[in-house]
A and B are shown apart, each in its own frame.
Chain A
Amino acid sequence: MNVERLIAEAEIIVVCGSGGVGKTTASAALALGAARRGRTACVLTIDPARRLANALGLEELPDEAHEVPLPAGGGRLFAMALDAKRTFDRLVEEHAPTAEARDRILRNRIYGQLSSAMGGSQEYMAMERLFELHEQGIYDLLVLDTPPSRHALDFIDAPNRITRFVEGRALRTLVEGGLRVGGLGLRALGQASLVGWKALERVIGVTFLSDLTEFLLAFEGMYDGFKERATAVRSLLGDRRTVFLLVTTPEREPIEEAIFFWQRLVEAELPFGGVIVNKVHADFLGDERHRSPAALRRAALAQLAEAGLEASVAGRVADAFLAHQVLVERDRANVRSLARRLGSEPLLEVPYLDGDVHDVPGLERLEPHLFATGA
């Protein structure tokens, strides 16, 4: 994988992967690398870890870009913590046909839940904000750290889902069903949706349905704007200015998630840049020789004794060494199998660094590994 070229050409990098693999740090290090190469880069993240957030100046105000002071020269680095609710509110404000419609939506209980708690809404809003910032054209490069979860894939569908959701016709059927049952007697309805509505009412209760009806009606004037916007977001994500990177660790479960993710990206015809395998245990032996643990232990003990190390200490050092080699072998086998499954797709291994990465100097330690030219 040639991250150097990727950084030079892309305007948007979307970083995906399952939780705990180091997405946020990788995203921040990519943005830092871009800045050091003279670009104006901004890393967008949701819910960053506290110390990294602190280091990037993200603790002050959500949804606002902060410049991260860099030691010397190059371009500029910005960071922003996304706030899903605020983005959603802004979208409503922008697309609501009247001030009254806007207020009705913002006050609605269903909307309150939808904008802050609904699975997938965070993901969608991240895309929305990305689009907004790209339109503004302030930054050369935007790096989006996607929310870590099994829902992470939802953002791919989100524009479609939102489009489908707010699409006029089917919704109107539902809404009109509600109005009719509510005694408002609009147009005649298909029997099926009426039956469905009555059944729902028995289960869910009338208040809930009337809230929902109100919400959907209030959205009435916004369908077209939303739909247009969602289509534009989808087209930007599929564009050659955008690239999707996957981050994983060399462990089985995150690799499975990465493969799943990759297949979804390919299916959705989104531009895939490659996989970053983070936290790979370094093989201090250097080459790939296959010696049994017992043989390695013997060799290590002999050489440690030669160097004058006391036998008990040497035994402990050998224990730590063999434990480390178990992980080296595990990582190697897993990365090999990942590479095989990915075929010709680019893959980059990043070593597991000693010491947590949670500040700018830490990112600077990570950066050269990300920008190394991989296979």
Chain B
Amino acid sequence: MSLLDRQVLIVTGKGGVGKTAVAAAIGLAAAWSGRRALLVEIASEAHVAGLFGESGGAEPGKEVALHPNLTGLAIEPQQALEEYLTLALRVRALAERLADSRAFGYLTAAAPGLRELVTLGKIWHLTEQRTRDGERRHGLIVVDAPATGHGLALLRTPRAFLEIARAGRVHEESRAIAELVADQARTGIVLVTRAEEMPVSETLDTLERLRPLGLEARVLVVNALYPELVTGADRETLRTLVPAGETGQAAVRAARSHLARRDDQAGELGRLAAATSLPRVELPFLFRAGLDLDGVSELAAVLGPAFEELP
């Protein structure tokens, strides 16, 4: 069973490391392999759809086609909560009245994590959906989760609710959600990082903090590694070289800077390797003006085969 055969992959990592790009690339790679993939983001507007050139995907709660075999869905927590209430109460008018009531507003403010819970609950619900023939409706659900701090809060929520809501429907569903998240056969946690000091430290810290939750990451994705454009052997030559022209000088400075950044990245990769034996997938830095479908495809071409190999 490969990593792409899971029902849910939850992608998290420090802010700014490229979580969304990696989540999109995983979804694309799964779609390429013939799996039906759903890319889920937790936000009030869909950003991911933009990567696939979809401008009409901004509406939360609505599944949009992004690519053959790939659809996208933005989960907006407040909306998911209302949807959940409708489902639970079986009466839309009552659910709407409740959701609109001030008292309910206070309750959601006071009941920490309720939004996170319904967000995960929605994902759980997606895994349960069946087609008319009884097949699972979604092959792989890739979740572009919030950055680690809030991502961890999200993963912790079902267990917290088992504790605070000790009976009733929410309790039962929290249990089902907690089981889904912790079940390594169904769910995989993908930690994204960059080979820089702060993201690496946060990644190592996250690994520690997952453990008491009974959770474990399946893979580390190290994003944005500089390719070896200038080799270490060129270092000495470049140290003293001063071309006469401005362009030549600029080129030498850029090459030196490249070497320095590669050194930093090598150091951080070493630190990561020394601290954890988790499998690592390394993605290249994209020298592009911004992320687009070509960029996502470039990442997917690396991620797909690597994830296919991972258990």
Spell out A's residues near B (CB within 8 Å).
Answer: 18-21, 24, 47, 49-52, 109-110, 113-114, 117-119, 121-122, 147-151, 161, 164-165, 170-171, 173-174, 177, 192-193, 195-197, 199-208, 211-212, 215-216, 249, 251-254, 282-286, 296, 299-300, 302-304, 306-307, 309, 313, 316-321, 323-327, 329-330, 333, 354-356, 358
Contact indicator A113/B164 (Cβ below 8 Å): yes
Among B201, B241, B254, max chain A CB count under 10 A is at B254
Contact indicator B254/A320 (Cβ below 8 Å): yes
Main secondary structure of the interface of B (DSSP, over half): helix
A291, closest chain B residue (CB): B247
Interchain nearest-CB distance for B157 vs A (Å): 8
State A16–B112 Cα separation when bound (angstroms): 24
Contact residues, B241-288 vs A (CB, 8 A): 241-258, 260-261, 264, 287-288
State A151–B148 Cα separation when bound (angstroms): 12
Say yes or no: A149-B15 contact (C-beta < 8 A), given A165-B106, A216-B110: yes
Instruction: Supply 7 A–B pairs (Cβ within 8 Å), ascending by A.
Output: A20-B199, A113-B160, A149-B146, A211-B164, A285-B247, A307-B243, A321-B251
Interchain nearest-CB distance for A190 vs B (Å): 10
C-beta contact mask, B165-198 vs A, less than 8 Å → 1, else 0?
Answer: 1111111000000000000000000000000111
A212, closest chain B residue (CB): B110
State A319–B229 Cα separation when bound (angstroms): 6
Which 7 interchain pairs have the tightest Cβ spacing?
A19-B15, A20-B16, A205-B168, A303-B248, A118-B112, A284-B250, A324-B254
Main secondary structure of the interface of A (DSSP, over half): helix
Among B112, B244, B289, max chain A CB count under 10 A is at B112
Interchain nearest-CB distance for A266 vs B (Å): 20
State A110–B111 Cα separation when bound (angstroms): 7
Contact indicator A208/B166 (Cβ below 8 Å): yes
Query: Per a CB cutoff under 8 Å, which of B150, B169, B231, B248 touches A203?
Result: B169
State A199–B101 Cα separation when bound (angstroms): 12
Contact indicator B197/A199 (Cβ below 8 Å): no
Query: Per a CB cutoff under 8 Å, which of A50, A119, A211 touches B150?
Result: A119
State A49–B199 Cα separation when bound (angstroms): 8
State A302–B248 Cα separation when bound (angstroms): 8
Contact indicator B97/A196 (Cβ below 8 Å): yes
Q: Residue B140 at the A interface, CB < 8 A?
A: no
State A303–B14 Cα separation when bound (angstroms): 42
State A251–B18 Cα separation when bound (angstroms): 12
Contact indicator A252/B290 (Cβ below 8 Å): yes
Contact indicator B165/A207 (Cβ below 8 Å): yes
State A200–B14 Cα separation when bound (angstroms): 36
Say yes or no: A203-B170 contact (C-beta < 8 A), given A109-B164, A326-B287: yes
Among A208, A211, A253, max chain B CB count under 10 A is at A208
Q: Residue B306 at the A interface, CB < 8 A?
A: no
Contact residues in B for A164 (Cβ distance below 8 Å): 106, 109
Q: Residue B1 at the A interface, CB < 8 A?
A: no
Query: Per a CB cutoff under 8 Å, which of A20, A171, A304 touches B248?
Result: A304
Query: Per a CB cutoff under 8 Å, which of A47, A283, A317, A329 touches B149?
Result: A47
